[in-house]
Structure 1
């Protein structure tokens, strides 16, 4: 798969999940099912939130955007992966830049959106009397538009810097999708600028979003612990339990995928399977977490799916 004596790479070849013919079909079926569950689960959340008027609040508006991201993010990689598993054809070139752009953009949007959702829960629990003044409809829309704009502008910067490099070594991408580290590793020109952009710009934005999320939950937990009654603590915690689980799942799988010792990267097959946690499994689990942990979402889903069956009432 190397380009040998050619001076320029004309196409990239994704390694895929497995070269064994008898493994590809079971993997295709498994990931096709996971992808369908992801689409149906997040689509059901969007339908329930859109049709239930009492859920037209900032908290659920942000959740609707998270569901959109959980539909779009796997859609950037899974269809190509399923095509490769079914056909055994792993080549990609122009589609590599498009795939990388949307993958980085959507992942960035999710990082920023989780920070906004954490801030929303901070205001609701720590500043309840000022919640309606701070989290107005206009401000909520502005925050969400800012997360999408920041994610896509950040990705544009990284995508342009990555694909301005010269590629004349190998065309074998050590992943089942196009990602910045694997593409930069194939360059035969200086990668200093591209790597520094990832380290400085991506690092600053990612760390800022993470610290915002962390600081919000430190304040939330501190406030909950000061509530005198056990019932009050449970009620306050229930308003952010689902989002806290999603945050832990997102950052846990991301760290497990990208922030590991170099000694743990000796198995390419294992690395590709580990990356599934972040790109495929997490978007499938998020709607399950919200539908199981949040009674209002569960009630809205029951009314939508069961044609108006009575729903259990519960406060957030």
Structure 2
């Protein structure tokens, strides 16, 4: 049975703004003792070669690849195969095994993709100047209401489920985001589980501070969680290594945000040409509140690219509210290059 997840709960309503190292015997001859007795000195054994520090080798390779990437970007403006800023990503979000987590799992597969096709056409019509890149965004490591055997309050989708999500993407010309809610664990302990899948060129990553509870010390759902710049930098380095080792185009990393405290020290986030960072405003509410939150937490604390979420169910709950149209989203400053529907 699929464990209960907190991620299907509505995000907290958005509020108005008042709100990148390394550093790397002589053999003694015959001696004479002080009492005049000659003796052969012991010959020292040859020194063993120093063990290779594989971590330092990897760090050196990453540094070399980073400098190479920087050089390419200076010459050409972008690494080959980069999705942003030449496209706008439009994604359906959820979990294919859970109806309550978003549109991705709420409706039967083919019905959902027919709806997705209509949404893509709306975006193509609203802004013909930029191609639309279709995406499905699956919450793959999910915050849980139960602690689990290790007490970390999170559960990873099965291998079969993850492979099915990726197959859905390939069948429908979508890139795929695997989203991570760490619970009381952390990115260092969780991201390596996704590495085999991230070696696929169409697979990208999302990280969600809302359910990052390690520094809060409580289970998911009790408080809104948080990431620091160092957490985002860890994810960037993790993805950059995968890109370099597997000769892949740049990965996209989405970072969810809808409050001030969900991300600290944003100025310390280090960008890397091998990873394209999207700061993603995903609060729900009426358009005025959503726009105010976008201005407060995304526009005023920029990193690289921006994203915006639309909620089929919750954006229409407030009185006189509505689901924002593509033209309304495009009018935001900066214009989001990642748009997600939940």
TM over 0.5: no
Structure number with the bigger relative contact order (C-alpha 8 A, sep ≥ 6) is 1
Higher helix share: 1
Which TM-score bucket, shorter chain as reference? Answer: under 0.3
Query: TM-score, length-normalised on structure 1?
Result: 0.24
Higher strand share: 2
Q: Which protein shows a greater Rg? A: 2
